[in-house]
Amino acid sequence: MTSPLPNPPTLEAPALKRFSLHIRHAFFGRRGGVSAGAFKSLNCALASGDDPDRVTENRRRACLALGLAVPRLAIVRQVHSARAIRASNVFPVGEAPEADAIVTSVPGLALGILTADCAPVLLCDPHAGVIGAAHAGWRGAVSGVLEAAVEAMAELGADPARTVAAIGPCLSQASFEVGPDLVEAVMDASPWADHLFVDGREDRKHFDLKAYLMARLMRLGLSHLDALSDDTLTEPGLYFSHRGSISRREPQTGRNLSAITLIA
C-alpha cells in the first residue's frame, strides 16, 4: 500500500526546531494518510479498530516525513501512568510495554506518542543526544509522567537545564470542561494550580492543561518551552478528538501521532 504521495502535513515547535541539526520532530494531525471512515485519514493507532495495514502505511508516511528512510517508530502501550521506559529499538507488534513516556539516545529511532485530546510532549537535550516523548493527560500529569520522563532522560546523560520541551495539539482551556473530581485531584497534587481553573456551567470548571504542563516542566528546571495553540476539539478537520467523537456519537476515533528522532 506504498504511495509516492507527499508527506503528511506537520507542525513543528520553534523551541525544538532550533536544533534541526540534531533532531527532527513533528506533530501530525489527521490529514495525509490512507485510513477511512471515522479514522480518516492519518490514524496511527493499531489498537483503535482501524485496518492494521492502513495504520502501518500511515506510520510509514510519518517516518518518511521525519526523514527516516526505514520506518523505525517506537510506541508504547499508553495507560495514563507515570511510567517512563528506555527504548533501543522498535517494539514487536503486540509486545509494546505499558508506559506513558519513552526516552532514547539511539539515532535514527523515532519515539511516538498517540493522542486524541491529551497532550503530547516532546523533549530533547541536543547537547547530550537524548530525546523523550510523553503522553500527558491530566491523570498522567498529576501522577508525574513528565517528571518520570525527565528523570529517565537524565539517566542517559541529559541535563534538565539544557532540555527543551514542546507541548503539541491538545484540549485548550475553553474545550476542557471538567468536574469536581478532577479539580480535587489536581489541587491535591498541585496546590499552586488553582489559577488554572475558570468557572464553567454549574459545578463545572475549565482546566488549562497546557499551562499546567508548562508549570510542571518549569519546576523541573526546564527553561526552553513551547506550547502550540492548536485545540483538538474545535478543529475536527485537522485532529482526532475523543471528546469530539463522543459529541458526534461516533463509536470510534483515530489518534494523532507526535514523534521525535535523533539525526543519525
Sequence spans of domains, the chain: 10-163+235-262
Give per-residue pLDDT as tens, 115-163.
999 999 999 999 999 999 999 999 999 999 999 999 999 999 999 999 9
Q: Do 78 and 99 meet the contact criterion of CB atoms below 8 Å apart?
A: yes
What one-character-per-residue DSSP string does 113-125 give?
A: EEESSSEEEEEEE
List of residues 6+ apart from 249 with CB closer than 8 A: none
List of residues 6+ apart from 205 with CB closer than 8 A: 177, 178, 179, 182, 183, 197, 198, 199
Distance between CA 121 and CA 56 in Å, rounded?
Answer: 23
Whether 26 has a pLDDT exceeding 70, the answer reads yes
pLDDT at res. 133: 99
Whether 76 has a pLDDT exceeding 50, the answer reads yes
Superfamily of chain region 10-163+235-262: CNF1/YfiH-like putative cysteine hydrolases (3.60.140.10)
Residue 198 phi/psi, 5-degree rounding, is -125, 155
Q: Do 42 and 58 meet the contact criterion of CB atoms below 8 Å apart?
A: yes
pLDDT at res. 93: 87
Rounded to two decimals, what is the model's pTM?
0.97
Give per-residue pLDDT as tens, 77-123.
999 999 999 999 999 988 999 999 999 999 999 999 999 999 999 99
Distance between CA 120 and CA 133 in Å, rounded?
Answer: 7
Question: What is the mean predicted confidence (pLDDT) over 233-256?
Answer: 96
